[in-house]
Structure formats: C-alpha cells, structure tokens
Structure 1
C-alpha cells in the first residue's frame, strides 16, 4: 500500500498518483497558483484517493468563495457515497470528517477535528495547513499559534516542510502578541526557504503591529523577487506594503500600489483580493480622501459576484465598497438579505458570525457613510472586543477599529475617543495615525499645546519612514 514520505498510509493512491500528491502539498504550503492543477492531477491518476479528495475539498473552502465551496461540497458528497470508511486508516477517516464538517459550514467542528488529527498525526502537513488557515478564518489567535507549535517537536529541522511550518508558527505568534519571537521564527523560516511567502507575511505582520514601517518597507524591498508576483499571496503582501506607505503619508504611492497590484482591469476579483482592496480604500475614506472612480470599479466587482451569506468577513468589505461608491441602497439590500437569512436560523458557523458581528458592523459602516456618526459608534462599541470571532487578522480588523475612533471623534464623543486613543497608543506608541487622531481630539478639547505635541510626534514617526 502506498505511503507518503512521512509514512502515512494513503488508501486508493497508487505509485502514479503519489508524486502528484507530494507536489500538490508542496504547492499548497508555498501558495503557488498551480496547486489547483496539481491537486486535480492526483485525482486524475487515482480518482478514489482519500487524501487527494480531502486536499481538493479543502481547496474548495480555503478561499472563502461560495461557488467553490458549493462545487467542492457536491464533488466530495459524490465521493463519500458508498465509501466504506471502515476500510480507511484512522487518519483518513479524520480528514473525511473534518472536510465534511467544513463543507457543511460547521467551521468550529472542522477545526476541532483537525486539532484532534494533528495530535495523533503531528507530521500531517495537510492537516496543519488546513487547520492553520481555519484558525485565521475564524480569528482564533491562540489556536493559530498552538496548533502548529504543538506539532513542531515531531518535525526534523532538515525536513523540507519544516520551514513552512515555522512560517505558520510565526503568524500564530504574531497574532498572539509575541512579536519579537514571531519575527525571529519567521526569519528562521526564510533562512530555509527565501520564497516562503507565508513566512514573509508573518514577519511583515510583526513590523506592522510594532509600527516598524521603515523596517517593513526595507524588508519587502530586499525580497521583491520572492513575493511581489506569481503567488496566491501576492496581492495581500502588496496590501501590507501599502499599509506601511500609508503611515508615511505618501498617499500617491499608496494609490500607485492600489492601481498596479491590488485592483485593476486584470484582477481576478476573488474575495481575498477584493477585501484587501476595500480595506485599503476604506482607510483613505476615513481620512476623507475621495476616490470615487476606484470605489465604483470595486463596487462593480463585488456586485458581479452575487455573493450569498457565505462568510461575514467578506460581506463587511463588500459594504465598505458600496458605501465608498455612494451606493448606500445596495449596501442596505445586502444587509437586509443577511438579516432575513439570520432570521431563518440556518445551520453553520457563519450564522453566528453574521448575526453577532457581520450585520452590526455593516450597519455601522452604512451609518458612517450617511454621517450618522453617533449611530456608527453605538453599533461598533458593543462588538469591538469580539471582532476576532468573525475572522481576519489584527491588521485587517483595524480598519473597523479605526472606524470606531473616527465615528467617536466626528460625533463629538470626546470621552470615548480619549479612551479609544489611549488604548491604541499604549499598545502601539509608534503609529502616526494614532497621534494624528490624538491631535484632533486635543483640538476639540481646547488644548492646543497637547494637540501640537501630538502632531509633532505623528510627523516625526512618519518622517522615520
């Protein structure tokens, strides 16, 4: 019977299919676009390969694309018809259970199943990767860290996939607040594989969270050949580059990056890329930069997708695009559709994500766009400490946190604004945005000395970049 290179038995996977599976797994870990083709090559050689089927099933859900998930659910369902699970290995049965739960929309049951799997089989790279991405999509920072950390002891450092695991671990460490350790771990991953775009991504997050914008730009500039094109993470890493540039105040360069890398006529308009585009433009919107034509094109792209209630995090970014494009009625229709869906009490994890976080945040964005800043603040305030439960990273969710800051300032709620800015400054003292907002608050409070001191600090930090 065929086994992978870590000794895991693979049912119904012959010698012809095994190299395709190993290549597909390698492509997955390094975010290569050809992973879809290499995964299908496994099934072309061995249609009943359990691990090949599981891999293709996971690919159907990892991109948060509703149509891809529906197709994967149908295909995996056909595969399971007549499948005698008792003839499978315990590891394969666990993968079937995890993939089935995820395809059925029960993300949390899928995450638990993948967690059990990696306890029993810590060298299962597919389970680790799928579980890691699952933890990111559900905003579970502790498990994002510990799922990989708990398996690393079973891996030899000379294993070709040890490096990508370090890259995953770096991101989990960063999301858990261990910034220095995360940076060291990410750099160790890149020492093994300089083209590990997820490892690059992990290090980039550590610089973002510590306000090391100069270091971040230099880090990315020095590695352009390894991340700036040709990967499934290219757009997202360009988004990080744009965030650094935004803090320096170079709006022209930010828009250049947006137009050339984030959204343009050749963009694939997949959800993961569209939300990066929306999140960047929304930050500019909060700063009162008007970019109507860009918003219009982005809103058109979201509208063409005809998304149903699949992943609340995506819905929020679609609403950003509609509000930015001054298509409030369209944003309202999306929210009303989600509210009807929530009222029907469907099964699946996205129900709670939408009801508890997605709808209130979307309503707040609409209120902000209509200049009802008090309502926007009222809607965001109760959920601000629970935003992680609908997915994303700290850096991604900061667009929503900044919306709360801006809403409180514009509503004249100075006590709330003072509290929010104090929290932000204590956590991230190096952040020009925080100090610029602080200066505006002090102006409102009638303290020009403190306002000028905050402006000077913002300018000094931006100049360092």
Structure 2
C-alpha cells in the first residue's frame, strides 16, 4: 500500500500513479495548475485516480462537464471494492456531485473531514460545495474539523481563513491568513482571504499595497486563482478612484487568461459592471466578452454563474440574453432538488431584474432584484462577489429618481461610506444622491491620494 504526500493510504495499481495523485491533491489545495497532471495517469484504473479525474472534469463548470466526468466516476465506482474506506467515501462524494445531489456530497465531505482529516482534497471540495450553496458555517466547520491534525499544512489555515471571513469573524480570519502566509508566502488562497477582510473593513490602501506586494508569487496558479486575486486588486483600485489602473488590470490580468473558463468569464463580467456603475467608460469591452458568454445559454451549472452570464449578454445588447433568461425559467422548476429553491426563488427573479437593468428597464430591475436580494446568499458566491447585485439594485434606486427611491439609496450609500471612508467611489455616489435630495454634501474624511 502506497501513501500520498499527506500520509493517506492510496490503493493505486501503478506506483508511478502516486506522483500524479500528489500533483492533483497538492495542486488542488494550493490552487496550482499542476492539479490537471493527474489526467496523465488516467489509464490507471485505480478508483481514486478515476475519481480525481472525474472531479477535474466537473470543475469545468460547463454543460459538458457531467458527460465528460461520468465515464471516470463509473470506472471509479466499479473498482471501489478494492479501494480504502477513505477513497470509497471520496468516490461517493464525487458521484453525488455528478448526479447533482450537492447536499449528499457535502454530507460525505463533512464525514470525511471528521474521520480522515488529512484528506485535504476532500476538505477543499467540501468547502467548494458549501460556498456554492451559501453555507458559510459549513465552510468553516469542515475546515476546523481538520485543523488540529493538519496544522502543519499552510493551505489548511488559508481555507480556515476564508471560512472565518465568510462568517464575518474577521479577527480569526486575519489571524489564520497571516499564519498561512508566514508558513508559505506563496499561499494565494490566504492572500485572497486577507483581501476580503481588508475590503470588508475598508482598509483599501492597505489592502491594495498588500496584494500588489504578494502578486509576484502568483505563478503557476490555475487561471481562476490568478485572475481572481487580480480581480481583488482591481476592486481596491476602483474604490480608490484609480480608474486607469483598474482598467489596465482588467485588460492584462483578469480577462484573457483562459477566455473559455467560467470563472474567468464571470470575473470579467463583474469587473466591467463595476466599472460602469462607478462611472468608468469600458469602451467596447463587453463585445469581446459576450462572444464567449453566448456559448453559455444552456449551461445551468450554478445559478450564480448564469446570472452573470446573463447580465454580460444584456449589457452587450446580445439577443442571447433573452435565450438564457427563457432557459433559466424553464430549468429552475426541474433543477436538482437540493438546489431547486435557489434557482426558483432567487435566480429567476434576479435574472429578470438583471436583464431589465442591462436593457435600461429600471422598474423591472427594482422589481426582480428587490425580490431576490433578501435571499441572495442561497446562490453562493462570496460577500464581495454578491455585492455586484446589490450595486446594480442601488444604481436602479438612484436612476429611478423618486423621493422614495433616492431616500432608500441615500440610506444604503451613507452606511457604506461610513464603513469605507477611503472609498472615493462611494463618496461620489453618496454626494450625488444628497444633491438630488436637496441636501448639503456631507463632510468626509480625506481619502489618501
């Protein structure tokens, strides 16, 4: 019996496959592109090899992912009798994912964390599912279950940091992130968690300086991790009023790494939308992005993804926005049971509201987004990512222009300014609303240049 680099027994039929398994496990938990190297061992019929290959195909987050993953998970299941108990549970969790039963997948990953706390690929995958269903306590719970046994692995502290941050436990989040970075300066998930903390707490100048300082370590990462960390850099730049630099980050580091990948696409949609909401001209950038989004009208992998595909298509004036909206309406009532409520009660109204806003229909935007926002966490994504939809709703309130809508906008904006006094973007927006209400512009702390 061989073991992987974390000490977990692996029942591979070819000793050379152990290295490929380690490439997946360590590459996956460190967000490095080398995780795909497990595919080179795909000829090894060992169940755990086949399960890892199935998981990789599922991470494509496309309508073809399930079909591409299914042969691998079927082979994994057929040989599971020769696998270890740890491997059998991991196989069952991936099989549940392929079948669309995310609740069962999460349950199995939580059991794995308690019984086999050194199975960190299972931990990372369990956090992924919790994240996509808005289960922030679940993200933290599964990380803490492994922490004592895996405290020597910096990536576990990074995963715990993000779980803490999503539960709004900022001091614990920062402490865990900094511990991870002390152990391994090249820990991009910990960088990401700390960026979340600093953005939430309004530490914009500090956050920008930190992310720019560690950006030299973002090498060899998968496209999501590198583009998403640069996405965070762009958020700091937008709020600090450094518009040209933010656009340059979009052009050079966010869009164009892997244009066909879901996460790269939604990162680009989110940034372009935020640019426009901040009053920054994006030129013809929507059109290039929409050429890739147009292929997504039948995906329906995650509601969080579909909403951003739709908004990007609507902003580009593409008819595929209407096709995607019809497809969402048709798919939601027959979505897998464990995610159906998120599709029906959140994604459907939000989709109608986002298309309306993208087409300039402000009453429609207010109606659809107003219904969805109270339950928005159910579609997953981070607080910072979901903030896009809140910004769109706020923009609709301002553009509606009635006394009632402007009053609502003023209350929301001033609370945000109070939390983030460095933000030039928020200050400009708040001042404009005050003027529209016939009120004097408030005194603000001077933002750094």
TM-score under structure 2 normalisation?
A: 0.92
- Confirm or deny that 1:255 pairs with 2:255: no
TM-superposed CA distance for 1:407, in Å, is 1.1
Closer, same or farther: CA 68–263 of 1 in aligned 2, 3 Å: same
TM-superposed CA distance for 1:111, in Å, is 1.0
Closer, same or farther: CA 280–48 of 1 in aligned 2, 3 Å: same
What is aligned with 1:40? 39
What is the rounded CA distance, in whole Å, between the counterparts of 1:303 and 1:324 in structure 2? 12
Secondary structure of the corresponding residue to residue 127 of structure 2: helix
What is the rounded CA distance, in whole Å, between the counterparts of 2:279 and 2:355 in structure 1? 16
Secondary structure of the corresponding residue to residue 314 of structure 1: helix
Closer, same or farther: CA 103–187 of 1 in aligned 2, 3 Å: same
TM-superposed CA distance for 1:422, in Å, is 5.2
What is the rounded CA distance, in whole Å, between the counterparts of 1:317 and 1:110 in structure 2? 25
What is the rounded CA distance, in whole Å, between the counterparts of 2:123 and 2:12 in structure 1? 22
What is aligned with 1:396? 385
What is the rounded CA distance, in whole Å, between the counterparts of 2:94 and 2:33 in structure 1? 21
TM-superposed CA distance for 1:288, in Å, is 4.1
- Confirm or deny that 1:218 pairs with 2:209: yes
TM-superposed CA distance for 1:305, in Å, is 4.6
Closer, same or farther: CA 178–220 of 1 in aligned 2, 3 Å: same
TM-superposed CA distance for 1:437, in Å, is 2.9
TM-superposed CA distance for 1:430, in Å, is 5.0
User: In the alignment, is the contact (CA less than 8 A) between 1:296 and 1:325 conserved in 2?
Assistant: yes
User: In the alignment, is the contact (CA less than 8 A) between 2:231 and 2:267 conserved in 1?
Assistant: yes
Could you list the runs of 5+ residues in structure 2 that have no partner in the other structure? none
What is aligned with 2:62? 65
What is aligned with 2:15? 15
TM-superposed CA distance for 1:271, in Å, is 0.6
User: In the alignment, is the contact (CA less than 8 A) between 1:166 and 1:185 conserved in 2?
Assistant: yes
Alignment equivalent of 1:270, drawn from 235, 240, 261: 261
Closer, same or farther: CA 70–170 of 1 in aligned 2, 3 Å: same
TM-superposed CA distance for 1:127, in Å, is 0.9
Could you list the runs of 5+ residues in structure 1 that have no partner in the other structure? none
TM-superposed CA distance for 1:371, in Å, is 2.7
What is aligned with 2:368? 379
TM-superposed CA distance for 1:137, in Å, is 2.1
Secondary structure of the corresponding residue to residue 317 of structure 2: coil
Secondary structure of the corresponding residue to residue 134 of structure 2: coil
What is aligned with 1:446? 438
What is aligned with 2:163? 172
* Structure 1 residue ranges (4+ consecutive) displaced by more than 6 angstroms after TM superposition: none
TM-superposed CA distance for 1:150, in Å, is 2.1
User: C-alpha deviations, 1:318-354, integer Å up to 9, x for none?
Assistant: 1221122122x321221011112224x2435443332
Alignment equivalent of 1:337, drawn from 327, 335, 339: 327
Alignment equivalent of 1:294, drawn from 273, 285, 310: 285
User: In the alignment, is the contact (CA less than 8 A) between 1:405 and 1:417 conserved in 2?
Assistant: yes
User: In the alignment, is the contact (CA less than 8 A) between 2:234 and 2:246 conserved in 1?
Assistant: yes
Q: Which moved more, 1:246-255 or 1:19-28?
A: 19-28
- Confirm or deny that 1:207 pairs with 2:198: yes
Secondary structure of the corresponding residue to residue 139 of structure 1: coil
Q: Which moved more, 1:399-408 or 1:53-62?
A: 53-62
Closer, same or farther: CA 145–230 of 1 in aligned 2, 3 Å: closer
User: In the alignment, is the contact (CA less than 8 A) between 2:161 and 2:193 conserved in 1?
Assistant: yes
Secondary structure of the corresponding residue to residue 124 of structure 2: helix
What is aligned with 1:24? 24
What is the rounded CA distance, in whole Å, between the counterparts of 1:139 and 1:396 in structure 2? 12
Alignment equivalent of 2:136, drawn from 141, 144, 152: 141
TM-score under structure 1 normalisation?
A: 0.89
Closer, same or farther: CA 409–341 of 1 in aligned 2, 3 Å: same
User: In the alignment, is the contact (CA less than 8 A) between 1:107 and 1:348 conserved in 2?
Assistant: no
TM-superposed CA distance for 1:425, in Å, is 4.8
TM-superposed CA distance for 1:374, in Å, is 2.6
- Confirm or deny that 1:55 pairs with 2:52: yes
User: In the alignment, is the contact (CA less than 8 A) between 1:10 and 1:49 conserved in 2?
Assistant: no
User: In the alignment, is the contact (CA less than 8 A) between 1:63 and 1:272 conserved in 2?
Assistant: no
Closer, same or farther: CA 228–397 of 1 in aligned 2, 3 Å: farther
User: In the alignment, is the contact (CA less than 8 A) between 2:102 and 2:338 conserved in 1?
Assistant: yes
TM-superposed CA distance for 1:197, in Å, is 1.2
What is aligned with 1:114? 109
Closer, same or farther: CA 123–229 of 1 in aligned 2, 3 Å: closer
Closer, same or farther: CA 292–300 of 1 in aligned 2, 3 Å: farther
User: In the alignment, is the contact (CA less than 8 A) between 2:158 and 2:177 conserved in 1?
Assistant: yes
Q: CA RMSD in A?
A: 2.2
Alignment equivalent of 1:246, drawn from 209, 221, 238: 238
Closer, same or farther: CA 228–250 of 1 in aligned 2, 3 Å: farther
- Confirm or deny that 1:99 pairs with 2:69: no
Alignment equivalent of 1:129, drawn from 120, 124, 130: 124
User: C-alpha deviations, 1:117-155, integer Å up to 9, x for none?
Assistant: 111111111111111222222222111122101210122
What is the correspondence of 1:322-333 to structure 2 with a 5 Å cutoff? 322-327=313-318, 329-333=319-323
User: In the alignment, is the contact (CA less than 8 A) between 1:54 and 1:99 conserved in 2?
Assistant: yes
What is the correspondence of 1:178-193 to structure 2 with a 5 Å cutoff? 178-193=169-184
Closer, same or farther: CA 324–196 of 1 in aligned 2, 3 Å: same
What is the rounded CA distance, in whole Å, between the counterparts of 1:63 and 1:125 in structure 2? 20
TM-superposed CA distance for 1:165, in Å, is 0.4
